[in-house]
Structure 1
Amino acid sequence: MTSTVSGHTGTPAAPAPLVVRPGRWIDGWNAEDRAQWEAGGAAIAQRNLRWSIFAEFLGFVVWQLWSIVVVSLPAAGFHFDTAQTFWLISMPSLVGATLRFPYTFMVPRFGGRNWTIISAALLLIPTIGLAVCVSNPQTPFGVMLLVAALAGFGGGNFASSMANITFFYPQRKKGWALGLNAAGGNLGAAVAQFAVPIVITIGAGASLQLPLAGLIWVPLIIVAIVGAWRRMDNLSHAKADLKASLTALRAPELWLMSLLYIGTFGSFIGFSSVFPKLIADQFPAFSAFPLGGATLSLAFLGALVGSLARPFGGRLADRFGGSTVTIAAFVVMALGATAVILTLPLDDFWLFLGFFLVLFIASGAGNGATYRMIPTLFALRSGAPDGHNSAGDVPAQRTAAAALGMVSAFGAYGGFVIPQVLGLSKSTTGGYEAGLGWFVAAYAVLLAITVAIAVHGRRRGVRI
């Protein structure tokens, strides 16, 4: 059975009909058709966005669980050296970044709704696996590392979720929609870092309830699976064929944007992962605050402010251009990292926290702005006169969707690089200042690249 969705908009143009087939497949979707959008397309897009955000939120929760758990492992009877600890922190990011490449193609292959169901169900494996591993201090490091790697399932979700949502929204609204989708997911890191320390210590007395770090998310994952099954849709035109992917890989824009996204999103996810460990090492007295019968870590504030800044970075990019906002982000990130370096010798936790939060805010806003640049650049590459407000033809949209997934994958490798660099800095110099200094230099290089892109756009008379 099929049904047709249409309606009267009060405008001369009649909306193109939407045909809904069994399995919640929608034919005839065209987000750039304003009549169709106003007649019901916007409501459909918003409903899919809400459930996409929830599923991606849980993906980020699972992705970040080990960054929180490792801080509590010594108290639970586990004894790992510095290198092993940083491998447990960074392994989920390495696997998650790699999974983003195949995940980019899952929406065209299975449908956005169908793949959301599958990818959410996969999150049950690392959550239950974590609970089993941390319940026994005799668990070998190799097994712990393998289960930490499985948490990368959560990181892969981002690529498929963002590629899916880009098909639902018109070009003029992509920045805000993609920013909300990403921010909702990014908030998972903050919520996990807020909730897990409380849950594993509340009522625990002298022991820790580490298995609850994984088990508490199982009911919510089941809700996401059922919600996606009942409320999300598949778009029949959402195709990302091999030709589109190869076109994206050959485009210099993809590689430039990958570098920029490593700087923005890579910084966000990398510093989010390592922030609890940084606080525990540098300011152990401030690593946990009493909260009734539990403890609270302030590490969640970094991921929180970075997540909240992301949609506003996208909205500012919609208005002023992504390159302009990204330039400002890299300037502030370089200044914020420099301030942290200068603050560390002062042994002042509140200055350290304040400057690090500035760095998180700038990286979050930069995430949204940088991601907004991708469809703009690929629309311009297809010959669209104004890539900021026009999505270009269908092949250009498919190429942009493939590029979004691949750029997100490259960017996520920053979540592996940053903990490894800081771990190396700690092992070789005894502190984190050297590692942070390397990041300042990297931000300066990325700033120069972004300025060059912005100048190129202005010479063509367009905003990028």
Structure 2
Amino acid sequence: MSSTTAKRAGGEWLDAWDPENEETWDKRLAWTTLSITTFTLTLCFASWFLASAIAPKLTNLGFDLTQSQLYWLTSLPGLAGGLMRLGWMVMPPVLGTRKLVTLTTLLLIFPVLGWAVRIQDPTTPYWELLALSFLSGIGGGAFSGFMPSTSYFFPRRLQGTALGLQAGIGNFGVSLVQLLTPWIIGFSMIGFLGSSQTMQGLPGKQASEVWYQNASFVYIPFILIGAALAWTMLKSVPVTSNIRQQFDIFKSQDTWWMTLIYIMTFGTFSGLAAQFGLLMKNLYGAGNAEIVQGAGASAQLLIDGYSVPDPVKYVFLGPLVGAAARVVFSPLTDRMGGARWTLASGIGLVASIAWTMTALVPDTSSAEALRSDFNTFLWGMLAIFLFSGIGNASTFKQMPMIFERRQAGGVIGWTAAIAAFGPFLFGVGLTIMSPTTFYAIGIAWAVMCIAITWMRYARPGAPKPS
């Protein structure tokens, strides 16, 4: 036993932990760890994507913000999450699961409480909103610490299922915040938490009284509960690996191939989850000047004959589909292998992105044409989320099969860190280029990943079958 392991034996640190030994493996502890870390990871994702649920309605609340500024608000959590994941990825062997999960969960209070307070004042400076968006990245950074920590507790044969459940259910935090927000803001919770605000409705609809601070305040009690559970019930596996040793993953070409592939899957999931609401608003809702403004009878026809969609009623569906796919397909990757499902994910993404591209320039000639294009757009987006979710499950089955245990945790953390830049890259991309051009780049990326997956992992006689 090394000196590092000896110092960590006892207390919160486990001794002689080997999940591959069926006789000594503590299944109950492993599944307890998965349950608690999944609960807290869900809160992390909710915190990370608060801006995506709040930003589309800021102008309706009286905030004077441009379309570009709103894109940046939903993009910055992705930039921050990606940067923070680079730090969180090396923390599991250093801090251990108990301290890592507890401290990270408590840190969520800063962005969540900040949004709750500042959302009540339409004169809040834009730089403060950007700062809160950046702090929301704490929730995104957590993923690269939580997932490797959980992988230490399960044998390889179950890691596809375990990691798929944790990541998939954690991803439901995105849908949770987007689904809960429009409901929870509709009534007063506790008087001292703040007063109501007037929110302007969609064209032709009346303004409503809302308590938008509820969208953040509601998570505070659960954050405190999650931190308490983590501190009292979690243990830590004494993985003897310092920060320098963890960087040996970059010597393997598979680290880089899997990074490109995970950008295709989780980068797409997180990027579109953050931008779905604004994209829908700008293409088919109140952000489309041709629909809402215009002149004369034509504009009135489109307003009256076409029901302008409220993004908050739809945006939760995409992350919900993606998260559900990750959960459902994870056990299948354990049975059938991950590479073939990654291949299917890439092919499905190419087809669904191409389908959606046909609706990125809405036909405003008539209400019927506009409604048809919107349906194409919505179903195409849901298909993209579906196939990205399948790929999220399959890649996390592949990595523990390709790398040995210590390296697999590091690769999971690294690939997750880079793919977490998805919301930032998608936001910037949709700001500087047309949606059609951006989606075309997505197809090209997916084709590249299909080729990598086939040649390296999926074909008969592949160098690293997984």
Superposition TM-score tier, normalisation by shorter sequence: 0.7 to 0.9
Cα separation, 1, equivalents of 2:377 and 2:224: 39
Structure 1: state its 5+ residue gaps.
1-18, 290-295, 379-395
Residue of 363, 366, 387 corresponding to 2:388? 363
The answer to whether 1:306 aligns with 2:314 is: no
The answer to whether 1:90 aligns with 2:75 is: yes
2:284 partner amino acid: F
In angstroms, what is the RMSD of aligned CA positions? 1.9
2:69 partner amino acid: Q
The answer to whether 1:319 aligns with 2:307 is: no
Structure 2: state its 5+ residue gaps.
1-7, 189-195, 199-207, 286-306, 363-368
Q: Equivalent residue for 1:31?
A: 19
Alignment of 1:241-280 (within 5 A): 241-280=242-281
Q: Equivalent residue for 2:40?
A: 55
CA apart distance, 1:20:
7.9
Cα separation, 1, equivalents of 2:219 and 2:227: 13
Q: Equivalent residue for 1:107?
A: 92
**TM-score, scaled relative to structure 2:** 0.84
Cα separation, 1, equivalents of 2:359 and 2:426: 19
1:422 partner amino acid: L
Cα separation, 2, equivalents of 1:454 and 1:34: 28
Residue of 172, 179, 189 corresponding to 2:164? 179
Aligned length: 412
Cα separation, 2, equivalents of 1:399 and 1:437: 34
The 3-state SS of whatever aligns with 1:335 is helix
CA apart distance, 1:455:
5.2
Alignment of 1:417-456 (within 5 A): 417-425=425-433, 429=434, 432-454=435-457
The 3-state SS of whatever aligns with 1:34 is coil
Q: Equivalent residue for 2:419?
A: 411
Cα separation, 1, equivalents of 2:221 and 2:170: 18
Cα pair 1:244 1:399 within 8 Å, conserved = no
Q: Equivalent residue for 1:21?
A: 10
CA apart distance, 1:243:
4.5
Cα separation, 1, equivalents of 2:182 and 2:245: 44
2:222 partner amino acid: L
The answer to whether 1:232 aligns with 2:217 is: no
The answer to whether 1:399 aligns with 2:407 is: yes
Cα pair 1:263 1:414 within 8 Å, conserved = no
Cα separation, 1, equivalents of 2:48 and 2:317: 17
Cα pair 2:53 2:178 within 8 Å, conserved = yes
CA apart distance, 1:287:
3.6
Cα separation, 1, equivalents of 2:460 and 2:60: 54
Cα pair 2:30 2:154 within 8 Å, conserved = yes
The 3-state SS of whatever aligns with 2:152 is helix
Cα pair 1:162 1:405 within 8 Å, conserved = yes
Q: Equivalent residue for 1:288?
A: 310
Q: Equivalent residue for 1:339?
A: 355
Cα separation, 2, equivalents of 1:459 and 1:288: 48
Cα pair 2:339 2:458 within 8 Å, conserved = no
Q: Equivalent residue for 2:154?
A: 169
Q: Equivalent residue for 1:330?
A: 346
CA apart distance, 1:413:
1.4
The 3-state SS of whatever aligns with 1:229 is helix
CA apart distance, 1:76:
0.9
Cα separation, 2, equivalents of 1:364 and 1:43: 28
Cα pair 2:340 2:458 within 8 Å, conserved = no
Higher relative contact order (CA 8 A, sep 6+): 2
Change in Cα spacing, 1:73 to 1:310, as seen in structure 2 (3 Å) is same
Cα pair 1:257 1:407 within 8 Å, conserved = yes
Change in Cα spacing, 1:102 to 1:27, as seen in structure 2 (3 Å) is same
Cα displacement string for residues 9-44 of structure 1 (whole angstroms, at most 9, x for unaligned residues): xxxxxxxxxx9833x32211100001113xxx1111
Cα separation, 2, equivalents of 1:248 and 1:300: 36
Structure 1, 102-111 or 330-339: larger mean CA deviation = 102-111
Q: Equivalent residue for 1:463?
A: 465
